């Protein structure tokens, strides 16, 4: 899953990026409102973390521009502790959730998981597909109760398919959602990750739809 982190304070941005990557997210960072608006308009993100006090264009303006253009990506805004008006303005502008600074990374990750689940129609932190279970809160994956050891990229591919069960997902779409913007992308490597996953999962779960992509078919 891929995240846009919009934060102009360098130390906090670096810390958040490190924590998000440790949680198996692909992360892009913008440190001003103009870049954030452009990236959110042109790149496919699963969720956006948006600080409101940004240089060049404030976060509320950025958010309003996205929503006016029909961009429905889930947005979590970051606000100052006592800035209740920012919270109200953010929600009215189209934010899906907010978090007050300072905050614990565990709460941020939990809120992000919830936003991604809701966007894909999932109600539980445990995503289930037949004998396959992926726990988004712990990052654990198991088949019939037996734990699986996955690489970060294998986990990202599987998590994206699990969040879009029954849907056809193209190689290009998978590539866009498992790599950050500055990573050298190659859609052919998606085939490698799919092949590795098939060796670890029941073979019938990941279906190849000729000429279109892949579909996670759950019994």
Cis previous bond, 118, omega within 30: no
Range of the domain at 179: 126-216
Model confidence at 188, in pLDDT bands (50, 70, 90)?
confident
Among 52-66, 79-93, 149-163, the least confident range: 79-93
* Tokens matching residue 192: 């490698």
Q: What is the pLDDT of residues 115-144, one digit of tens each?
A: 998 888 887 889 999 999 999 988 999 999
On whether both 100 and 185 belong to a single domain, the answer is no
On whether both 27 and 103 belong to a single domain, the answer is yes
Look up tokens 């996205």; give the residue.
66
CATH number at residue 22: 3.40.50.2300
**Helix H or strand E encompassing 193:** helix 188-200
pLDDT of amino acid 183: 67
On whether both 44 and 62 belong to a single domain, the answer is yes
Counting the structural domains of the chain, the total is 2
On whether both 93 and 132 belong to a single domain, the answer is no
Q: SS3 for 165?
A: coil
CATH number at residue 147: 1.10.10.10
Model confidence at 108, in pLDDT bands (50, 70, 90)?
very high
Q: What is the rounded CA–CA span in Å between residue 91 and residue 112?
A: 16
Which of 119, 141, 173 is the last residue in one of the domains? 119
pLDDT of amino acid 81: 64
The CA-based dihedral angle spanning residues 29, 114, 58, 21, taken in that order and rounded to the nearest 10 degrees: -10
Which of 56, 90, 119 is the last residue in one of the domains? 119
pLDDT of amino acid 207: 93
Q: What is the pLDDT of residues 175-184, one digit of tens each?
A: 999 888 766 6
């Amino acid at each position: 899953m891929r995240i846009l982190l919009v934060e102009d304070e360098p130390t906090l941005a670096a810390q958040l990026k490190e924590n998000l990557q440790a949680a198996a997210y692909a992360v892009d960072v913008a440190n001003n409102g103009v870049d954030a608006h452009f990236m959110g308009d042109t790149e496919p993100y699963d969720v956006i973390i948006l600080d409101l006090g940004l240089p060049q264009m404030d976060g509320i303006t950025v958010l309003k521009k996205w929503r006016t253009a029909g961009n429905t990506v889930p947005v979590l805004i970051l606000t100052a502790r006592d800035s209740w008006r920012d919270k109200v303005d953010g929600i009215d502008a189209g934010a899906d959730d907010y978090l007050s600074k300072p905050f614990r990374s565990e709460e941020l990750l939990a809120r992000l998981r919830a936003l991604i689940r809701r966007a894909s129609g999932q109600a539980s932190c445990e995503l289930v597909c037949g004998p396959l279970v992926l726990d988004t809160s712990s990052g654990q994956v198991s088949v019939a109760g037996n734990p699986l050891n996955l690489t970060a990229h294998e986990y990202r591919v599987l998590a994206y398919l699990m969040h879009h069960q029954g849907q056809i997902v193209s190689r290009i779409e998978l590539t866009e959602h498992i790599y950050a913007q500055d990573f050298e992308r190659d859609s052919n490597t998606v085939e490698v990750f799919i092949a590795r996953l098939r060796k670890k999962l029941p073979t019938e779960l990941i279906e190849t739809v000729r000429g279109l992509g892949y579909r996670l078919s759950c019994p």
